[in-house]
Structure 1
């Protein structure tokens, strides 16, 4: 499979899942991500007949489906009632994955409010351990994503945005049902950069690399490639040089922006010396 075929599109909430599969097939996209939180794709909207038709369409067109949970749902929640609701939310995604034929689910470590960081991290770790065990029993795969930094003066901060915080979770969860989703543009916002992250993290556990442009040491943006200063050619050379065989996921702009960028990104990789 060539590199362009390994670069997917994060559909998110943009299309009904059936329409997303048809769009991907028409555009030669082999990997798509979808969110199951609202509208026609709400996780509660899939009956058995709809799931069967979706699995058949994925198989017919050879499309890899990934699910992507909402980062606004706080995996580090510890309050009564809310805590149980977060468990139920994550289990609903895990239950949905095999029914829909999805290969993986991107999950997060949650967020803290500065003064309660330690409590939040422990609550999130405990929950991710429970969810990894549940996913293992269901035969699906969780991908823990490194999230973005927030301004230093902000009260709320995403967890697992630094190398150290991300490691806190994945080193403590030794399960075949937990792997990693590496968002390269989030690493670009931190001093270590992509190079530092790739040197520090277990690349053999990375299944997906998420892509968008942004500015070095800047703030969270999901720009179309070329609108920031991210060096995509160097990134592909570095990551492919580790032996990475997984897929990449475009997450910026419109569907057309992400589709058009696939060929440009593959060309940047070739110009950087990658056999693409």
Structure 2
């Protein structure tokens, strides 16, 4: 179902370093991001399009061809990352249609430029409307999966972060029960899991519990940053207390051969963070 990454796009075995990618967020356009990745020996790059118009017609044939050629020549796997501020659990008239259009535009652009994946979210609720929001979220993601069924990119659903109890707004899915429920209800050949260990460690099951429950077969991307396990933080590795060695031993030991995605700080911070993570993993000699 998902991109086979251990062998690489060009069929060459990939080291762990080559499997650690960079989420450029809204810092770069797609064309800029794949060029930057090629120049910095980064083989996986995710891009958020929300910094400008999300319109397939804004891309010329020359731009699309250039993006695809760069990815092929430099062995770069491209992903798109939707903005979590867009509420996939939207229920209000007019706005709900716009969210569907937003997701379809991501699929259309991803298919056009040769993206392998689109990271999506479940949205958020406001406590009293939990059931209605979750139902709307699942229905909308189902429509998006159906729309993307014949497109190049698969959709990867991310387990989101906990918000303090005093907050009226809360993301879904966040708990292990919610995440499991979403994947049970949304089962589709083009659906994968964007596993976020820093989010998982905010809950009693912790990183081990989430990964062991959902497994390496469903896991399609592992998103990395550091935190202290209590609130949402996007710290560079080493600035928090996440045990990256134990995390790598768990995930790599399961046979997972997919990619990791850094998401914190500047582009340079993430390149430095990649080196830090490689130093932390005691099993590096075997990969």
**Length-normalised TM-score, structure 1:** 0.95
Matches within 5 A, 1:64-103: 64-103=77-116
Deviation at 1:273, TM superposition (A): 6.5
Deviation at 1:250, TM superposition (A): 0.4
For 2:228, what is the secondary structure of its paired residue? coil
Deviation at 1:275, TM superposition (A): 2.1
Correspondence for 2:59 among 46, 67, 72: 46
Q: Give the Cα–Cα distance (whole angstroms) in 2 for the partners of residues 119 and 181 of structure 1.
A: 24
- Map of 2:129 onto structure 1: 116
Deviation readout 1:36-94 (Å, 9 max, x if unpaired): 1123x744532333212211111111100000000011111111111110000000001
Confirm whether residue 142 of structure 1 aligns to residue 181 of structure 2: no
Correspondence for 2:236 among 224, 231, 241: 224
Correspondence for 1:6 among 15, 19, 27: 19
- Map of 1:177 onto structure 2: 190
The unaligned stretches of length 5 or more in structure 1 are none
Confirm whether residue 234 of structure 1 aligns to residue 246 of structure 2: yes
- Map of 1:207 onto structure 2: 220
Q: Give the Cα–Cα distance (whole angstroms) in 2 for the partners of residues 66 and 57 of structure 1.
A: 14
Contact 2:37–2:45 (Cα < 8 Å) also in 1: yes
The unaligned stretches of length 5 or more in structure 2 are 1-13
Q: 1:274 to 1:107 in 2, by over 3 A?
A: farther
For 1:175, what is the secondary structure of its paired residue? coil
Q: Give the Cα–Cα distance (whole angstroms) in 2 for the partners of residues 221 and 273 of structure 1.
A: 27
Correspondence for 2:169 among 156, 159, 164: 156
Aligned length: 273
**Length-normalised TM-score, structure 2:** 0.92
Q: Give the Cα–Cα distance (whole angstroms) in 2 for the partners of residues 10 and 139 of structure 1.
A: 19
The more displaced of 18-27 and 121-130 is 18-27
Contact 2:71–2:77 (Cα < 8 Å) also in 1: yes
For 1:52, what is the secondary structure of its paired residue? helix
